[in-house]
Structure 1
Amino acid sequence: MKKIIITGAGSAQSNGVINSLLMGNGGEEIIGLGAMPEELVMCNAHKKYLMPYAKEECYKEKLLSVLIKEKPDMIHFQHDFELSVAVRFRDEIEAIGVRMLVPDNETIDTCVHKYKSWLKFKAAGIVVPENLVLKNKADLKYAFDHLGNEDGTIWLRSMSIGGGGKGSLPTSDLEEACDWIDRCHGWGDFVAAQLLTTQTVTWLSIWHAGSLVVGQTRRRKSWAHSSLSPSGITGVTKVGETWHDESVDSVAISAVKAVSAVPHGIYGVDMTYDKNGIPNPTEINISRFFTTVQFFSEAGLNMPVILKDIVLYNKFPNLPRVNNPLPDGLLWLRGMDCAPMLTTEKRINEQLLIA
């Protein structure tokens, strides 16, 4: 029996991957590694190891000890920071005989740091919002004067590793912006950017040696727990919908090729539309699936199984089309303390009574 290790087990972003692999009924043993016992115990992996966080000094030693003990055939990292740490000793991981499908270290470093990827997008001629690194209040004032929209609003966000719209805040007030950056200890780490619209879309893809294996678009209809974030963006999709648009496909592929000469592995391109209706790439989630990947699996496109089949068996999928094989209009609904639901708008309307 082959073994697959999934890191971050128990977290929302890893549970969908584990569930998708189990749905595939491939017979592999799924081993989950996680740092939070209360989450880890709830995941569906066959075996579960409590691990230190990747930021802890003992992380490398503990990870390698588990790999030596279990001798897994494959490992998949589902967190940006953990991946960025682990690839520093990828030679030692691979020497144990563990396989991964990940790009080169430079590509990973570029993508986990949003500003570095923005520079790559801009250099490739892709339409992106103007960004300015904020080192002091003078930089911030310049940003308001030159990047603000009609009412003077700019977008603030952190450049460092982290999801969920880390540090994001739309504001038209200089003092509020200063206070926010002070509170986040963000001088030198934050950027100011032109404010885009609220329309967002994500294109999730798997590549192998420069060739696209599969890509699928999902647009976000709403964020979960949006009231808990000053920007309304939490990084947690409440309602997602399968959907495709050729301009999105084109921009996403261009963004991937801007950061990687030979794309290899998982690339999730997040895009936000500007006022001219052009999708602007804002980041690439590298070498990991987005949190709602189980959406695609339930709909018939099991991307974690596709990844696993490539890594373990050199088996590639036979799809009706490589880009956007799923039909448009499938909805994935998520809520607290209830199982997610795959449905359509038509089915929703058929089940509801009008008061």
Structure 2
Amino acid sequence: MKRLLVGGAGGTPSNNFIQSIKESSEKVFIIGMTSDPYDLCKANVEKRHLIPNAREKDYYLILEEIISENEPEFIHVQNDFEVLAISRFRNKLKKMNVITCLPKHESVVNCIDKLKSWEIWEKSEIEVPKSLIIKDEHDLKEAFKNLGNTIWIRSIKGAAGNGALPTSDVDFAKSWIDYFDGWGKFMAAEYLSPTSVTWMSLWDKGELIVAQGRKRLNWAFNDRTLSGVTGITGTGVTVSDPLVDKIAQKAILSIDSKPHGVWSVDMTYDSKGMPNPTEINIGRFFTTSLFFTKLGLNMPYIYLKLAFGEELPEIKKKINPLPPDYAWIRGMDTKPVLTNMKKISEYKKDLKKRRSLYI
């Protein structure tokens, strides 16, 4: 029985990863760890440990203790900063006989830093939103001058819409950056559109194993933030778009000619209908990985087999093996619902018919 150590246990991204592994035909023993004691209580694992945040000085020392006590064979985490930490310590973990299935460290650094990945894409002549780092008020004014009346401000590092804000007000933008102490840590980008698409993929030393596209219809709890972005997909829909497939692969290969492990690309559409890469979630799955698992594509389990160097499950189609227009609808305190866009359209048509009698 394989012994796995999973970071962020109890949080939704890791819970979906864990559930996908548990829905495979293989029995596993999962040790969960997280820096959030409340999330830890929600983890569907065999053993639990509280650990410092990955940016704390004693993170690795406590991690070593947990590994010595539990002897996991493999570690997977679902947070950018923890991915960076595990990548940094990969050689030490290898000496402790713990497998990490990560791309090379340089690629991890370049993807977690959104400014670095943007610079690589621009040099590779990939369509990306015009962007610049905001070091001071002069840079902020230049951003409004050169990027448009409305600009997109966000933290260079972090996930879940960290520090994100679309604004057309210079003073408000300044107050926002002041609040986050973000001078030199934030970037401004051209505002494209609210329409985005994602592309989750698995690679084996440069060879694509499988990839699937997913369009985001809305953000959950988007009325709770100024930006409308929460990093929590409310409804995701399977898509198959050759243009998205092409750009996602180009974005990945421009950063690493031999990608390995998990590469999840976020793209936003511009006014011409061109998907622009905005970030790569490196070494971790999208929060909604269980969506694909429920449709028959268990990417976390394929990833586990890859990490252990074992024969992979049969994959008949490498790119977009899932049928399009299946929807995964999520909310708080309720299980996600798997349905399709045809059913949702039927609800809308019924309401339209009823309203026609009164409007």
> Do Structure 1 and Structure 2 share a fold, with TM-score over 0.5?
yes
**CA displacement at 1:72 relative to structure 2:** 1.4
Provide structure 2 residue ranges, at least 5 long, that are not aligned to the other structure.
355-359
SS of alignment partner, residue 276 of structure 2: strand
Equivalent residue, structure 2, for 1:343: 339
Measure, in 1, the Cα distance between the counterparts of 2:60 and 2:30. Answer: 21
Measure, in 2, the Cα distance between the counterparts of 1:166 and 1:248. Answer: 25
**CA displacement at 1:145 relative to structure 2:** 1.2
| RMSD, matched Cα | 1.5
Mapping 1:99-138, distance limit 5 Å: 99-138=99-138
Equivalent residue, structure 2, for 1:284: 280
Equivalent residue, structure 2, for 1:154: 151
Cα deviation 1:220-240 (Å, max 9, x = unaligned):
000001112211011100000
Do structure 1's residue 96 and structure 2's residue 96 form an aligned pair? yes
**CA displacement at 1:126 relative to structure 2:** 0.3
- Of 304, 322, 333, which aligns to 1:308? 304
Measure, in 1, the Cα distance between the counterparts of 2:103 and 2:3. Answer: 22
**CA displacement at 1:306 relative to structure 2:** 0.3
Mapping 1:246-325, distance limit 5 Å: 246-325=242-321
**CA displacement at 1:350 relative to structure 2:** 6.4
Measure, in 2, the Cα distance between the counterparts of 1:166 and 1:35. Answer: 18
Q: Which amino acid aligns with 2:190?
A: Q
Contact 2:87 2:102 in 1 (8 A): no
Measure, in 2, the Cα distance between the counterparts of 1:311 and 1:192. Answer: 37
SS of alignment partner, residue 228 of structure 2: coil
Equivalent residue, structure 2, for 1:82: 82
Percent identical among aligned pairs is: 42
Measure, in 2, the Cα distance between the counterparts of 1:78 and 1:23. Answer: 19
Do structure 1's residue 240 and structure 2's residue 236 form an aligned pair? yes
Measure, in 1, the Cα distance between the counterparts of 2:205 and 2:198. Answer: 22
Q: TM-score, normalised by structure 2?
A: 0.94
Cα deviation 1:88-112 (Å, max 9, x = unaligned):
2211101111112101111000011
Of stretches 210-219 and 51-60 in structure 1, the one that deviates more from structure 2 is 51-60
**CA displacement at 1:348 relative to structure 2:** 4.4
**CA displacement at 1:28 relative to structure 2:** 1.4
Provide structure 1 residue ranges, at least 5 long, that are not aligned to the other structure.
none
Alignment: residue pair count: 351
**CA displacement at 1:188 relative to structure 2:** 1.1
Measure, in 1, the Cα distance between the counterparts of 2:341 and 2:226. Answer: 29
SS of alignment partner, residue 263 of structure 2: strand
Runs (4+) of structure 1 exceeding 4 A deviation are 348-355
Q: 1:137 to 1:201 in 2, by over 3 A?
A: same
**CA displacement at 1:140 relative to structure 2:** 1.3
Contact 2:90 2:100 in 1 (8 A): no
Do structure 1's residue 145 and structure 2's residue 145 form an aligned pair? yes
